[in-house]
Structure 1
Amino acid sequence: APGKPQQNGFNESFNGRLRDELLNETLFRSLPHARIVLESWRRDYNEARPHSKLGWLTPKAYAEALDRKDRPACCAG
């Protein structure tokens, strides 16, 4: 992985969202509680939220389209 934030925009964007939407807002009571909350956030991020860079598909829908070799219109080419 690149060593500079500007070289790794996807990870920086994801980390910023995780930090702003969850980590800065949640006081975890225990490690099991943290695991449950993080899993819920991860599912929402991957299964319910469309992403502009993926042609407004969710990451899950985009991955499924790639698995079918049926490239979404956003990324054909």
Structure 2
Amino acid sequence: MAYIQPGKPQQNAYIERYNRSVRGEWLSQYIFETIKEAQNQASEWLWTYNNERPDMSIGGITPTIKLKTAA
């Protein structure tokens, strides 16, 4: 496993982009009372992110559809 250098987020841009999406679209918009509530909301958001939200970088389709067509 290769680690990125401190202060060099561009070395792992895919994860940095995903983390930005999680913070902006999910984490900063809710106040959670319990860990279970946060886990349930995270699962719901992740499903929506992969199955309903079109990704313009892959032609405006969802990641799930892209995966199915690639197989």
The answer for unaligned runs of 5 or more in structure 2 is: none
In structure 2, the residue matched to 1:66 is: 70
Instruction: Specify the SS of the correspondent of 2:31.
Output: coil
Instruction: Using CA pairs under 8 Å that are at least 6 residues apart, name the structure with larger relative contact order, 1 or 2.
Output: 1
Moved >4 Å (runs of 4+)? none
In structure 2, the residue matched to 1:72 is: none
What is the Cα-based RMSD across aligned positions, in Å? 1.4
- The reply to whether residue 7 of structure 1 matches residue 14 of structure 2 is no
In 2, Cα distance between equivalents of 1:56 and 1:13 = 17
How many residues are treated as equivalent by the alignment?
67
The answer for unaligned runs of 5 or more in structure 1 is: 68-77
TM-score by length of 1: 0.76
Identity %, equivalent residues:
31
